[in-house]
Structure 1
Amino acid sequence: MDELVKPQWEVTDYRTFVSGITKEMLDAAKVDFATCQKQVLALLHGKILVGHGLKSDLSVLGITHPWYMIRDTAKYEPYMKIRYQDGGLWPRALKDLCKEMLNRDIQVQGRAHCPKEDAMAALDLYKCVLEPWENSMEYHWNRSITMQRHRMARQQRAVVAM
């Protein structure tokens, strides 16, 4: 989906130098927020969502998607870097991942930001590691199911013990 949406509130700074979006472009937008939200939900239903930094995108849209149907390249551990302070994992910039993994330049300085380019870059990064990522997701899914079964069994035993 590549659509401009009518703003719900007045825009005071279009940040055109970054976004490439102008007042005229948004004035011409035909889709309102509620319609966009419904279209995105319908589009995502039963599908894997691939992107980079999806938490903020989903938050702005006011929607959720099941964890097991999300492939966020910002959160994929092999793509993350280690923080020196505590050894924790830190997401890397999409621009840097694309340069390293795909030998592709995106978000080039002096050029307007293109969300479609970002989306395609995240998809290509996902494709690079599709098999190990899906194997990992299958493991986490199975573990989640097993944990749920154990939790339910514990709850049933607790009810019987009363």
Structure 2
Amino acid sequence: QESLLSAEDIENATLSVADIQQTLHPFLSKGTILVGHSLNKDLEVLKIDHPKVIDTALVFKYSNVRKPRRASLNNLCKSILGYQVRKEG
């Protein structure tokens, strides 16, 4: 699975996991619904267990293949919204 983070990004990080958790905490009440793409890994790394998550990678899957798989965010945006999140290549 592709990651947008490089080893250099992680080495140069200025915030700890605890810093990020503290920043996000005010937004994560019981009534908050998190919406994002492939959130499971992000939440796992941040050690955040939130009960209400809508993950577009799980909602929108390729159904015309033998084993349904997750669409990339770029392909999902291209097919539904008509534009690319990032250029290929």
Please indicate, yes or no, whether the TM-score normalized by the shorter chain is above 0.5: yes
Aligned with residue 42 of structure 1, among 23, 26, 33:
26
After TM superposition, the runs of 4+ consecutive aligned structure 1 residues lying more than 2 A away are: none
**2:37 is equivalent to residue 80 of structure 1:** no
Q: TM-score if structure 1 supplies the norm length?
A: 0.44
Structure 1 regions of 5+ residues with no counterpart?
Answer: 1-11, 15-20, 111-162
Aligned residues: 82
Tell which structure's C-alpha radius of gyration is larger: 1
Task: State the SS of the aligned residue for 1:75.
Answer: helix
Deviation at 1:60, TM superposition (A): 0.8
Deviation at 1:37, TM superposition (A): 1.1
Structure 2 regions of 5+ residues with no counterpart?
Answer: 1-5
Aligned partner of 1:54 in structure 2 is 39
Distance 1:35 1:49 in 2: 19
Q: TM-score if structure 2 supplies the norm length?
A: 0.75
Deviation at 1:22, TM superposition (A): 8.7
The answer to which structure has the higher helix fraction is 1
- RMSD over aligned Cα atoms: 2.4
Distance 2:88 2:38 in 1: 20
CA deviation digits over 1:129-149, x for unaligned, max 9?
A: xxxxxxxxxxxxxxxxxxxxx
Aligned partner of 2:3 in structure 1 is none
1:60-139 matches, within 5 Å, as: 60-66=45-51, 69-76=52-59, 79-82=60-63, 83-84=65-66, 88-109=67-88
- Percent of matched pairs sharing the same residue: 32
Query: CA, structure 1 residues 99+42, in 2 after alignment: closer, same or farther (shift >3 Å)?
Result: same
Distance 1:109 1:22 in 2: 24
The answer to which structure has the higher strand fraction is 2
